[in-house]
Amino acid sequence: MTRGSAVRYPFSAVVGMDDLKLALLVNAVSPAVGGVLVRGEKGTAKSTIVRALAALLPAVEVVPGCRFSCDPKDPDPRCPDGPHAAATGQPREARLVELPVGASEDRLTGSLDIERALTEGVKAFEPGLLAAAHRGVLYVDEVNLLHDHLVDLLLDAAAMGESYVEREGVSVRHAARFLLVGTMNPEEGELRPQLLDRFGLTVEVAATRDPAERAEVVRRRLRFEEDPAGFAAGWVEAEADLAFRITAARAKLPDVELTDAALRQITAVCAAFEVDGLRADLVTARTAMALAAWNGRTTVTSDDVRTAARLALPHRRRRDPFDAPGLDEQRLDDVLDQHGDDPEPPDDDGPGGTPPNDDGPGGAPESADGEGIDASGGGGSSNKQQEAAGGGGEQEAAQPGATYKPRLFTVPGTGTGAPGRRSKARSPFGRVAGARPGARGVHLTATLRAAAPHQKARGRSGPGLLVTPEDLREAVRDGREGNLVLFLVDASGSMAARQRMRAVKGAVLSLLLDAYQRRDKIGLITFRGRDAELALPPTSSVDAGARRLERLPTGGRTPLAAGLLRAAEVLRVERLRDPARRPLLVLVTDGRATHGDDPMRAAALLADVAAVVVDCESGPVRLGLAGRLGERLGGEVVRLEDLGADSLAGVVRDARKVA
């Protein structure tokens, strides 16, 4: 969908968020930077500022009637609507195209016009959103909720500046150069590091903790809602200044020189922070050049390199979802100083190097950085006493052991849940396994086969087929789905030997990482003492699960039945919220129950849930309680040392000796 005529909140009126403003403006100057990924908590005006940016972009000249927005001065020679004869361009505003979370591949890239192909016998291409976004802005809200296949497609198009469609006998290539902006809430799940790397810049946003600044945000928003047109009119001059500055920076960009000294700093910084590949070097260089143009200069300075590195490198340092994003700015300064032997060129006459401030109507205060969120967790008090039956004091939280690749556990049968990589499912993505009546993702061969027997009855005697809506067949595909993996972890005293709990946490952390890679939702329930606690409600944020697990204290009795009952209640609620997502219960315990009701009766409530019991029992004498509980649940039982690679067996054997 494209931008409508409704009044949008002015870009200049957004309070604070200087890094985000600068990253968007740099991409407006040079779309080759590769777009912006905006990460932040809900309610931080991510969507507002992105939608406001499109109004600042210069109008574009397009070939009249061209669905692919060709430039009349330099038309695409391979445009599907071409070739274009010399014609007077038609001006129009730069488009803001929004990609919905539920969009299909056909909607994104375009597809064969099935109706014309079947009725007129011609191969007609219907453009998608990539074509509509050419020379404008493509905005993807909640990009982390898109299927990975779609994210790959749009990032490929953004990197190459072209979109290729090869399907259903159609082979089309068209230009697709746009400013890509994605927003996401990390609490709803992370993008894979491979996909993070494809975004040029990333910015973390959070609501300011300054009461005066928060008050100004609310004040402006209320004024805008009361009178949108009147509020926007007060910012016309500031918006015009920004628009002019973008145009001037675009004109200056070809003249910007990346000196050998600046290039040496860029490569030294990327090497020092151990980013993979060379994309980081290229993006940092392009960003630094765009910053120089934005600031009215023709030479890149150390300050440009520093700012570019702050925006281009943090997300490229993440190698798994448990790595915290960010950049050590002191180290960055040290590397720049070490490799900054050549003197910096003097600034040309031009505007200063700061992003637009908020000093407009209403007298906004200067931007203030939001306070960091204290992520430290409190462990329990240290207590060396343990009781074999699970009683005793609380233990200090043990750190998780090393992660490894665990065995694949799946939910039996075939589901219809969200696309993922765990259990079998009927999915829009995957191998074609058949066809059924329908018009979504038309299966051309099956459609023609269904229409063929009826041609005589329909009075068709010549070449070609007469196809009716009743003949349409859609492809049935075998794919994979993501599941809800609910971890139920025994944190009682019988599990509390430090080395043993370290191995248990390492195993659960490995399963969490596996769930992240397979696009699952995860939840975490722990039980100890007298009750069970929902430590992490079902979410797609696997790193949140890792943080809860790392701070998990242990000790006390074992209320196994309470844990099973809590799991049954959580799964009951989740079935109501998302009936298509099938659950997998992973119970990590030694099977001992020293408090509460009989766990076997509680397990009966989970008889219809796919389950895996990780048996953590150790010692020369084993009671086999976890195995019997697994039989009651109707699930697979796997010993802790058999959960993953052979190298884990030694870790667990050592843990047993300590225990």
State the catalytic residues. Answer: 279
Nearest 5°: the CA angle 544, 151, 189 is: 10
CB 234 within 8 A of CB 45: no
Secondary structure element (H or E) that encloses residue 5, with its range: none
For 299, which DSSP code?
A: B
Q: Helix, strand, or coil here: 484?
A: strand
Strand order in the sheet with 583-589: 531-539, 521-528, 484-490, 583-589, 610-615, 636-639
CB 283 within 8 A of CB 267: no
CB 587 within 8 A of CB 611: yes
* Per-residue tokens: 505: 């946490």
Tally Cβ neighbours within 10 Å of residue 623: 12
The C-alpha atoms of residue 540 and residue 403 are separated, in whole angstroms, by 20
CB 423 within 8 A of CB 483: yes
- DSSP letter string over 16-76? S-HHHHHHHHHHHH-GGG--EEEEE-TTS-HHHHHHHHGGGSPPEEE-TT-TT---TTS--
Half-sphere exposure of 652 (CA within 13 A, CB side): 21
Name the amino acid, one letter, at 258. L
Nearest 5°: the CA angle 99, 102, 103 is: 50
Backbone angles phi, psi at 56, to 5 degrees: -85, -15
The C-alpha atoms of residue 451 and residue 471 are separated, in whole angstroms, by 5
How large is the C-alpha radius of gyration of the chain? 29
Q: Helix, strand, or coil here: 572?
A: helix
Cis link prior to 463 (omega < 30° from 0)? Answer: no
Contacts of 384 (CB under 8 A, 6+ apart): none
Q: Helix, strand, or coil here: 586?
A: strand
**Closest of 481, 514, 511 to residue 411, by C-alpha:** 481
Half-sphere exposure of 467 (CA within 13 A, CB side): 23
Q: What share of the chain is helix, strand, coil (3-state, %, to 5)?
A: 40, 20, 40
Tally Cβ neighbours within 10 Å of residue 386: 18
Length of the chain in terms of residues written: 659
